[in-house]
Structure 1
Amino acid sequence: MLVFGRYSRCWRITRGCLRVLRRTLLTERFAMDEEWAARRQTLDTLALGGDYEWIAAVQKKFVGGGIASAVDVDAAVCAAEEKDQLEDLIDLVYRLRHTRNTADTLPSTEYALLRSMLRHDAMHWLFKILADPINYGVFLNEHSACLAIDHLLKAKNFAGAAKVASVVMQQEILTCELLNILSIYAALRWLDLPPEQRVFDASVQPTVAAEEEVNEEEMRTMKFAYLKNAHFDDHFDILDAERLVGKTLLWMVERTSLESNLIRSIQAVGALFFEKFDLLSQLLLGEPLMPAAVDFCRTELQRRVTSAGEESDTKYEQLLEKVEKCSRLETSKSLWSAVEEHLRRIQMEEEKQLIDTQRNLFKEWANRRTALIGAQVSILPSCCFSQISHGSHWNSQINPVRWGRK
């Protein structure tokens, strides 16, 4: 194997075939595939039967106005591994979201569904679900967000990676250094694209469709009209891609250990795209900035002046004057390459911290799932005993599609 540089891009010769492995930012160990696979051992002890069998059993609970429990759905989503099961899992999560049991949804359900979508490269589903938290109720955590951004960066889907970064910002997941750096890197790679490519098209920012009439068999227990904010909140209501990415840079860069001159340079770019022009003016007239940031601001401001024509806002011209007076640092690095260098320096320690945190969550989730299933089984005699002739049928009631029956 020949490895070039410090990255995982390499040429591998296998049985006469030449394969190119794609570059990745995070290590292979960070995916925690072995720890995640261990969940099957705990699920096997619950005697669910086959994956397909259990999914079908949970689906039946929603038929005719019935309701499955949150742990029913969790077991189905966590146990499934096949690509042809994915849409059934999404349907179960959607149905659970529209029942009174939605408040009991387990975080392992969201995490498992997100991992399944990444495993099978179902990016259309990933962005559809992230764009519609009201109907799906699926949210990223630090580990799943890092996996998603890294997956999209490997595929050179910079728009998708930047969109996930903006979702992280809107969820205000801001305490993880590794995730913040990855999000900033993704945003900068997207901004480095030509202006005509700096968009979030329908593939990464789908429009949430209006809800169709609900079948009587799928009647919800509670349903309220969607209430739109009376005022633009400049956060969840932001749809413009450049404003989203600009705010992502501004919010996240303040919560990193990047060098101060790099932070100010990224803030300048973020302020420009988030249209915080007073802040941009202060940064341009303050301490020296990286030339890459200054040149980027100049190019973007000139583009805006040109595209506006005679109707150009004088503020852009005033900002251009300040750009010309801005002090520059002595460096030729791009912003994203400087961020990547920082990532390499902190990577081992930050990955280890997040791996340890996620490993503890795996244990908590497994224990919680087992406890909930035990509690659910314990109430079955009182709920179902009148329908069972004698205790000889108890084993059939609790295996394999019974412990969630209500």
Structure 2
Amino acid sequence: MFKAVRIVSKKQFLKTIEFSKQTYIRTFLSQAYYCNEIWNERLSSPVFKKVVPEDLYHDLEQRYQKTKHLSAIDVDIFVNTITDSHFSEELLDLVHKLRLTADTSNTLNATSHAVVRALLKFGKIEDLMDALDDRLNYGLFIDYYTANILMDTFWKSKDFAKGVKIASMLMLQEEVEHPLSCAFSLLHCFNYLQNPKGWPQEEILEDSEDEVKIRVKFLRNHYDDQHFDLKDANKVAGKTLMMFCKNKNDPLHQSFSILGMALFGQTEALKKIFSNIKQPLFKEVLDLIPEDSEIKNATNQLPNQSVDINKFLMENVEKVYQQTSEKDIYDQCETFKKWEEERLQAFEEQKVRLSNAKRLQDIEDLKKAMQEKEEKLWFFDNEDQIDLKIAKKKKFYPKRWFGHKKSPRKIDETYIPPEVQSKQIDGSHLS
């Protein structure tokens, strides 16, 4: 017997091996934590079965161009049915346009989660980070579960800057209570501060020689709230560490709290708490305080101990994961069910709302048709009233006065113009 053998090129074979290695790299979170199977079960819902993403997008796009209005449930349905990376731009486009409409306040909780999962699945990491960071134009917000998945993904790719960015989003939302999110945040912040690279930089416009004047309604006074306006990487990481380590007195969190306060610039508050520190802190964490900091010398005098802090943080993440994973998975599965119920309820409410609107429109059309038919049948009996209505619709503008009219000039027919002769000038008169 002969057996058909597929010949694969060396380059393709190596690419396959590389992909398999990336797929099975061990991370902190197990596959069960991602709840992929339960998340994919949403597609069996009757709301999604007959939806064609391409047709739905064109329908929503045309509706927005005509009325400048989108429905939150329609956008949620489109976002959840996306399974192809070709629709990633359309996905963000509709989410942005929904943000510009009045129905953005009715955005479903599942929408943000679906956008994050879709872009993460398609490998559109930069687009995802830009959308999450631009909350005003996209309205995407993460929760503990989504943040843990993202920070685990960025740990796998060793992209600590993005991990700190996700942790800072929880800080901005003031959601710092989850133990696993806290452990992940400390791990990413420590690794990023050891080698601060990859933080997104703002574009600096070059000064041009030509002066450009722009008309604006009013100028805002510069104001920095030291929270949402934070852009500097050290200050963002510092405040993130402060928030996650607040009211925690063990050596690990106390060490990171001091580091965070030093990065954020709260030197006066730090000097007050130095006298209350009795237990040894972690030297590797305190060494990350910048050399130009005012409290650098004071922190060197604090009791400290040297440990492999990176290994300690990794073990801390694993320990916390073992304690919280089962509850997180159960809670998230229940959340998926809750979102499904909310979606079905919103879908039924929209059907009723559209049905009522159509019935009202049909009644108005019927009344208008009956009125036109009545005018035709009783035209001669109501001719005078119809003429009055037509006269009322006419607009009469007051005449403008342009002053007294001037009488036309009379022409004297007997008038004879004088003869014009050239006058010679003698040269003697010029002297």
By the TM > 0.5 criterion, same fold?
A: yes
The match for 1:137 is 139
The residue type paired with residue 346 of structure 1 is V
1:199 Cα offset (Å) = 5.8
In structure 1, stretches of 5+ residues that fail to align are 1-12, 208-224, 305-314, 389-406
| Contact 2:238-2:263 within 8 A present in 1 as well | yes
Cα distance in 2 between the residues matched to 1:226 and 1:373: 43
In the TM superposition, what whole-angstrom CA distance separates every residue of 1:290-325 from its partner, at most 9, and x where no partner exists?
12123333xx22xx3xxxxxxxxxx63xx3432332
The match for 1:338 is 312
Cα distance in 2 between the residues matched to 1:168 and 1:47: 35
The match for 1:112 is 114
Change (3 A) 1:228 1:139: farther
The structure with higher relative contact order (CA 8 Å, sep 6+) is: 1
The residue type paired with residue 253 of structure 1 is C
Comparing 79-88 with 56-65, greater Cα deviation is found at 56-65
Structure 2 residue matching 1:379: 3-state secondary structure: helix
Structure 2 residue matching 1:38: 3-state secondary structure: helix
1:79 Cα offset (Å) = 1.2
Matches within 5 A, 1:180-219: 180-193=182-195, 197-198=196-197, 200-202=199-201
- Aligned pair 1:38/2:41, yes or no? yes
Cα distance in 2 between the residues matched to 1:347 and 1:150: 11
Change (3 A) 1:332 1:184: closer
Cα distance in 2 between the residues matched to 1:227 and 1:136: 25
The residue type paired with residue 106 of structure 2 is D
1:280 Cα offset (Å) = 3.5
1:272 Cα offset (Å) = 1.5
The match for 2:25 is 22
- Aligned pair 1:146/2:148, yes or no? yes
Matches within 5 A, 1:364-383: 364-383=338-357
The residue type paired with residue 322 of structure 1 is A
The match for 2:405 is none
The match for 1:173 is 175
Cα distance in 2 between the residues matched to 1:126 and 1:101: 23
Change (3 A) 1:364 1:198: same
TM-score of the pair, normalised by structure 1: 0.75
The match for 2:387 is none
In the TM superposition, what whole-angstrom CA distance separates every residue of 1:234-284 from its partner, at most 9, and x where no partner exists?
11111110010011011102367xx70111111121122111113443555
Choose the corresponding residue for 2:331, options 333, 336, 357.
357
| Contact 2:51-2:81 within 8 A present in 1 as well | no
- Aligned pair 1:237/2:229, yes or no? yes
Identity of aligned residues (%): 24
The match for 1:93 is 95
Matches within 5 A, 1:187-336: 187-193=189-195, 197-198=196-197, 200-202=199-201, 231-254=223-246, 260-282=250-272, 285=275, 286-287=277-278, 288-297=280-289, 300-301=290-291, 304=292, 316=294, 319-329=295-305, 331-334=306-309, 336=310
Cα distance in 2 between the residues matched to 1:97 and 1:367: 23
The residue type paired with residue 384 of structure 1 is K
| Contact 1:177-1:255 within 8 A present in 2 as well | no
| Contact 2:80-2:114 within 8 A present in 1 as well | yes
Change (3 A) 1:89 1:265: same
Comparing 183-192 with 287-296, greater Cα deviation is found at 287-296
Change (3 A) 1:51 1:344: same
In structure 2, stretches of 5+ residues that fail to align are 1-12, 205-216, 364-431
- Aligned pair 1:122/2:124, yes or no? yes
Cα distance in 1 between the residues matched to 2:50 and 2:221: 44
Cα distance in 1 between the residues matched to 2:37 and 2:127: 25
Cα distance in 2 between the residues matched to 1:178 and 1:227: 43
1:387 Cα offset (Å) = 6.4
The residue type paired with residue 28 of structure 1 is Q
The residue type paired with residue 343 of structure 1 is V
| Contact 1:158-1:186 within 8 A present in 2 as well | yes
The match for 1:402 is none
